[in-house]
Chain A
Amino acid sequence: MISRDTFDLHLKGILDSAGTSQAMKTLWAKYQLAKDKLPADILSWIPKVDGNLSEHGILHIDNVFENAARLLSLSPEVGSDGALEVKPFCGVDIKPVEAFVLGMALFFHDTGNIAGRKGHAKNGRAIMCEVLKDVLKIDEIRGIDQVMSAHSGVAATGDPDTIKALDVAPRYICKEPVRIRQLAALVRFADDLAEGPQRTSNYLRSKGAFVITKPASHASNEKEERNIFHDYASITTVNIDKGNGRIALQYNINLEDNMFDPQKGVGREFLEPLLRMVFYRIKKTDDERRYARFYGGKLLADFHTTEALVQFYRNGIDIDTGLVPLVLNDLVVPPHSEDINKSTEWIKAQNPAYDISALFEQVWK
Chain B
Amino acid sequence: MNTQTTQANPFEYDAALNLPADMLIDWYIEDHNFARVLRTTRNVLINGHRGSGKSMMLIYNSLRFQKLRHERKQHEFPPQHVGIYVPCNTPLTHRQDHELMPIGQQVTLSEFYFVMAIVEAIAEAFEAAPVDFLAEDYIILADELRAVMPNIVINEASSVFTQMRRNVKNQLIILQQSLQQGILTEVEYNAVSFYSLVTPILSALKRTSIFKQAHFSILIDDAHDLNLHQKMLLNSWLTYRDHSVFSFKVAVAGLRTHNLRTLSGGTVLEGHDYLILDLEQPFQSEESNYAQFAKAVIEQRLAGVGLEGVAAENFFPQAPEFEADIEAANASVAQEYLKAKGWDNLSDLTTDQKKSVRDHVYKYGRAKYFRERKAKSNLPTYAGFDTLVHLSTGVIRNLLNPCYQMFDSLVSKNEPVASGIPTGTQSDIVKSKSDEAWEQIRRGLEKVVEGCTKEDADYLCNLLTALGDYFVKRLTNHKSEPRILSFIISEAESENMKFLENLFRIAQEAQLLYIRSGSSKTRGRREDYFTPNRILWPVLGLDVCGQHGRASIPSRELVDAARFKKPIKSDVESREHSEQLGLI
5 contacts between A and B (CB under 8 A): A244-B262, A244-B264, A252-B524, A254-B523, A325-B271
Given A202-B522, A325-B272, 14 more pairs with CB closer than 8 A: A73-B265, A235-B524, A239-B267, A239-B269, A243-B261, A243-B262, A243-B267, A244-B266, A254-B524, A309-B271, A313-B519, A313-B523, A315-B519, A317-B519
Cβ-based interface call for A250 (8 A):
yes
Bound-state Cα–Cα, A104 to B519, Å: 39
> Which A residues touch B520, using CB under 8 A?
316
Q: How many A residues face the partner with a CB closer than 8 A?
A: 28
Least distance between B288 CB and chain A CB atoms (Å): 13
| Chain A proximity mask over B245-278: 1 for CB below 8 Å, otherwise 0 | 0000000000000000110111101011000000
Bound-state Cα–Cα, A84 to B267, Å: 23
Judging by beta carbons under 8 Å apart, are B269 and A316 in contact? no
> Which A residues touch B54, using CB under 8 A?
none
Least distance between B45 CB and chain A CB atoms (Å): 15
| Residue among B42, B262, B269, B525 making CB contact with A252, cutoff 8 Å | B525
Given contact pairs A250-B271, A250-B272, A325-B271, A313 touches B524 in the complex (Cβ within 8 A): yes
Chain B residues 311-356 with CB under 8 Å of chain A are none
| Chain B proximity mask over A295-325: 1 for CB below 8 Å, otherwise 0 | 0000000000001010101011100000011
Q: Of residues A241, A248, A250, A252, which shows the largest number of chain B Cβ atoms within 10 Å of its Cβ?
A: A241
Cβ-based interface call for A245 (8 A):
yes
| Chain B proximity mask over A245-277: 1 for CB below 8 Å, otherwise 0 | 110101011101000000000000000000000
Cβ-based interface call for B75 (8 A):
no
Cβ-based interface call for A117 (8 A):
no
Judging by beta carbons under 8 Å apart, are A243 and B265 in contact? yes
Cβ-based interface call for B72 (8 A):
no
Bound-state Cα–Cα, A324 to B261, Å: 21
> Which A residues touch B262, using CB under 8 A?
243-244
Judging by beta carbons under 8 Å apart, are B42 and A324 in contact? yes
Cβ-based interface call for B239 (8 A):
yes
> Which A residues touch B239, using CB under 8 A?
244
| Chain B proximity mask over A224-246: 1 for CB below 8 Å, otherwise 0 | 00000000001100010111111
Cβ-based interface call for A115 (8 A):
no
Least distance between A193 CB and chain B CB atoms (Å): 15
**List of 5 A-B pairs having minimum Cβ-Cβ separation, nearest first:** A243-B266, A316-B519, A244-B266, A254-B524, A243-B265
> Which B residues touch A316, using CB under 8 A?
518-520, 523-524
Bound-state Cα–Cα, A50 to B267, Å: 37
Q: How many B residues face the partner with a CB closer than 8 A?
A: 19
Q: Of residues A253, A316, A325, A327, which shows the largest number of chain B Cβ atoms within 10 Å of its Cβ?
A: A316
Cβ-based interface call for B241 (8 A):
yes
> Which A residues touch B267, using CB under 8 A?
239, 241, 243-244
State the majority secondary structure of interface residues on B.
loop
| Residue among B241, B266, B269, B524 making CB contact with A242, cutoff 8 Å | B266
> Which A residues touch B42, using CB under 8 A?
324
Given contact pairs A324-B42, A327-B241, A241 touches B523 in the complex (Cβ within 8 A): no
Bound-state Cα–Cα, A50 to B241, Å: 44
Query: Which residue of chain B lies nearest to A244 when distances are taken between CB atoms in the complex?
Result: B266
| Residue among B261, B265, B269, B522 making CB contact with A250, cutoff 8 Å | B269
Query: Which residue of chain B lies nearest to A307 when distances are taken between CB atoms in the complex?
Result: B272
Chain B residues 371-422 with CB under 8 Å of chain A are none
Q: Of residues B241, B264, B267, B271, which shows the largest number of chain A Cβ atoms within 10 Å of its Cβ?
A: B271
Bound-state Cα–Cα, A282 to B344, Å: 59
Least distance between B524 CB and chain A CB atoms (Å): 3
> Which B residues touch A324, using CB under 8 A?
42
Bound-state Cα–Cα, A234 to B525, Å: 10
Chain A residues 150-205 with CB under 8 Å of chain B are 197, 202
> Which A residues touch B519, using CB under 8 A?
313, 315-317
Chain B residues 168-190 with CB under 8 Å of chain A are none
Bound-state Cα–Cα, A235 to B266, Å: 23
Judging by beta carbons under 8 Å apart, are A241 and B266 in contact? yes
Judging by beta carbons under 8 Å apart, are B523 and A315 in contact? yes
> Which B residues touch A327, using CB under 8 A?
241
Given contact pairs A254-B524, A317-B519, A324-B42, A248 touches B269 in the complex (Cβ within 8 A): yes
Least distance between A227 CB and chain B CB atoms (Å): 18
Bound-state Cα–Cα, A324 to B42, Å: 9
> Which A residues touch B265, using CB under 8 A?
73, 242-243
> Which A residues touch B523, using CB under 8 A?
254, 256, 313, 315-316
Bound-state Cα–Cα, A256 to B271, Å: 22
Least distance between B266 CB and chain A CB atoms (Å): 3
Query: Which residue of chain B lies nearest to A324 when distances are taken between CB atoms in the complex?
Result: B42
> Which B residues touch A245, using CB under 8 A?
264, 266
Bound-state Cα–Cα, A244 to B261, Å: 10
Bound-state Cα–Cα, A253 to B524, Å: 7
Bound-state Cα–Cα, A277 to B549, Å: 35
> Which B residues touch A313, using CB under 8 A?
519, 523-524
Q: Of residues B42, B261, B518, B519, which shows the largest number of chain A Cβ atoms within 10 Å of its Cβ?
A: B519
> Which B residues touch A243, using CB under 8 A?
261-262, 264-267
| Residue among A197, A241, A315 making CB contact with B269, cutoff 8 Å | A241
Bound-state Cα–Cα, A242 to B264, Å: 8
| Chain A proximity mask over B8-48: 1 for CB below 8 Å, otherwise 0 | 00000000000000000000000000000000001000000
Least distance between B156 CB and chain A CB atoms (Å): 39
Bound-state Cα–Cα, A324 to B243, Å: 12
Bound-state Cα–Cα, A152 to B524, Å: 31
Least distance between A289 CB and chain B CB atoms (Å): 15
> Which B residues touch A246, using CB under 8 A?
266
Judging by beta carbons under 8 Å apart, are B272 and A248 in contact? yes
Bound-state Cα–Cα, A202 to B519, Å: 15
Query: Which residue of chain B lies nearest to A75 when distances are taken between CB atoms in the complex?
Result: B265
| Chain A proximity mask over B40-78: 1 for CB below 8 Å, otherwise 0 | 001000000000000000000000000000000000000
Query: Which residue of chain A lies nearest to B519 when distances are taken between CB atoms in the complex?
Result: A316
Least distance between B516 CB and chain A CB atoms (Å): 14
Bound-state Cα–Cα, A316 to B525, Å: 7
| Chain A proximity mask over B507-545: 1 for CB below 8 Å, otherwise 0 | 000000000001110111100000000000000000000
| Chain A proximity mask over B202-241: 1 for CB below 8 Å, otherwise 0 | 0000000000000000000000000000000000000101
Bound-state Cα–Cα, A324 to B262, Å: 21
Bound-state Cα–Cα, A235 to B239, Å: 24
> Which B residues touch A197, using CB under 8 A?
525
Least distance between B169 CB and chain A CB atoms (Å): 35
> Which B residues touch A252, using CB under 8 A?
524-525
Bound-state Cα–Cα, A252 to B525, Å: 8
> Which B residues touch A254, using CB under 8 A?
523-524
Bound-state Cα–Cα, A73 to B524, Å: 29
> Which B residues touch A234, using CB under 8 A?
524
Bound-state Cα–Cα, A256 to B523, Å: 9
Query: Which residue of chain A lies nearest to B267 when distances are taken between CB atoms in the complex?
Result: A241
Q: Of residues B42, B241, B266, B519, which shows the largest number of chain A Cβ atoms within 10 Å of its Cβ?
A: B266
> Which A residues touch B266, using CB under 8 A?
241-246
Bound-state Cα–Cα, A315 to B522, Å: 10
Bound-state Cα–Cα, A325 to B272, Å: 6
Bound-state Cα–Cα, A74 to B267, Å: 14
> Which A residues touch B269, using CB under 8 A?
239, 241, 248, 250
Bound-state Cα–Cα, A244 to B262, Å: 8
Bound-state Cα–Cα, A239 to B273, Å: 13
Least distance between A75 CB and chain B CB atoms (Å): 10
Judging by beta carbons under 8 Å apart, are A311 and B271 in contact? yes
